[in-house]
Amino acid sequence: MPRKPRNCPAGPPAVRVGPVYIQPALALAPMAGITSHPFRILAKIYGCGLVFSEMIHARALLHGGSYSSQLTYFHEAERPVGLQLFGSEPKLLAAAAQKAEALGADLVDLNLGCPTPRIVRNGEGGALMRRPQLCSAIFKAVTAAVRCPVTVKMRKGWDERLVNAVEIARRAEDAGIAAVTVHGRTVAQRFGGKADWEIIRSVKRAVDIPVFGNGDVASADDAAAMLDYCGCDGVMVGRAALGNPWLFEQIKARLEGNPVPVPPAPPDRIKTALRHLDLLCRFKGDKAALLEMRRQAGWYLKGFPGAALARRKIYGAATAEELRNVMQEYIIQVED
Ligand SMILES: Cc1cc2nc3c(=O)[nH]c(=O)nc-3n(C[C@H](O)[C@H](O)[C@H](O)COP(=O)(O)O)c2cc1C
């Protein structure tokens, strides 16, 4: 029997964020360009407990338009779902949070971690880690504006000289934020190096609100180890779920103390990729689906025989139909 993580002695681990009950305490990380409605549905099917939208700029949400409608769309089956906002103006973020709540979001999440230079230069995303007082002003304005829980996703700090996740988490708690997620890298690190789980542990010890740990969870054992080591209330998974939504079913089983299911055989993995493509086509139309799936399909083939050639064909596909055919041919090839 797998070892049970320390903080979930009986039954499936769960966490309550304000009134929102999350079970299992396992979240899909917000990922721009990836975690749109189709991928979130797959994550839910495979047992993920909480999903987040891609980040949406507060102003874009308030101005509406088809792009922002696409970013904020979710299906009832995805609940509980968090809409993630970014920006740096407290009033604007508060107004956007009201709109997110009116759209039915279960949670509003604030992005304090994005390291993209264009965003950081605007003083948004990860740049907020350098401005603790502004963070407090944002937290207060947003929590006062909505009834739904507000959560914050932050980094370890700005850089190794400014490691202040504990301070930001305390400010969040003081301002009525319902939970925090800590990605154990500094903004300066972007996605390089190793995530520091020590900082997640320190944040968990410093606040009473739920803490989700994030960074480098790539397997069911990693998730259990993070809960065990950091004592955090939940785990958030990002890159390891790319082309691999059944990771959620594996983590869920591990956290429940059940045997971890083996990943599906190659043909079934490609069938899931085809399902992903179909969901994308229905949601975004063939052209956008093709662009998005050309990036993502390769991840579903990771480690398969002949994957390099199939990937080249995938990148070369000119229409969604062609992409579908390449993937179907590949199923026949791996079934042989
Ligand atoms: C392609 C990509 C897009 C991302 N977009 C967002 C985003 O919109 N909002 C956010 O808070 N974090 C974003 N992240 C960061 C992830 O949510 C997560 O914190 C990070 O990948 C670390 O977790 P992991 O090691 O499990 O991948 C993004 C990451 C990637 C790889």
What pLDDT, on the 0 to 100 scale, is given for residue 12?
64
What pLDDT, on the 0 to 100 scale, is given for residue 83?
98
Which candidate, 19, 265, 35, 307, places its Cα nearest to that of 148?
19
State the catalytic residues. Answer: 114
Residues 105-129 have pLDDT tens digits of 999 999 999 999 999 999 999 999 9
What pLDDT, on the 0 to 100 scale, is given for residue 304?
85
Q: How much is the average pLDDT of 224-249?
A: 97
Confidence of residue 67 (pLDDT cuts 50, 70, 90): confident
Going along the chain from its start, the domains and CATH numbers come out as 15-256 (3.20.20.70), 266-335 (1.10.1200.80)
Which candidate, 84, 70, 17, 76, places its Cα nearest to that of 41?
76
**Beta bridge pairs of residue 27:** 50, 236
Confidence of residue 69 (pLDDT cuts 50, 70, 90): very high
* pTM exceeds cut of 0.85: yes
Whether residue 189 has its Cβ less than 6 Å from ligand 1: no
Report the nearest-CA residue for atom 14 of ligand 1.
31
Averaged pLDDT of the chain: 94
What pLDDT, on the 0 to 100 scale, is given for residue 228?
96
Q: How much is the average pLDDT of 128-151?
A: 98
Whether residue 155 has its Cβ less than 6 Å from ligand 1: no
What pLDDT, on the 0 to 100 scale, is given for residue 319?
96
195-205 CB burial, b ≥16 within 10 A, e <16: bbbebbbbbbe
Rounded distance from Cα 206 to ligand 1 centre (Å): 24
What pLDDT, on the 0 to 100 scale, is given for residue 63?
94
What pLDDT, on the 0 to 100 scale, is given for residue 122?
98
Task: Return left, alpha or beta for 104; rule: phi > 0 is left, psi -120 to 50 is alpha, else beta.
Answer: left
Q: How much is the average pLDDT of 167-190?
A: 98
What pLDDT, on the 0 to 100 scale, is given for residue 9?
43
Whether residue 217 has its Cβ less than 6 Å from ligand 1: yes
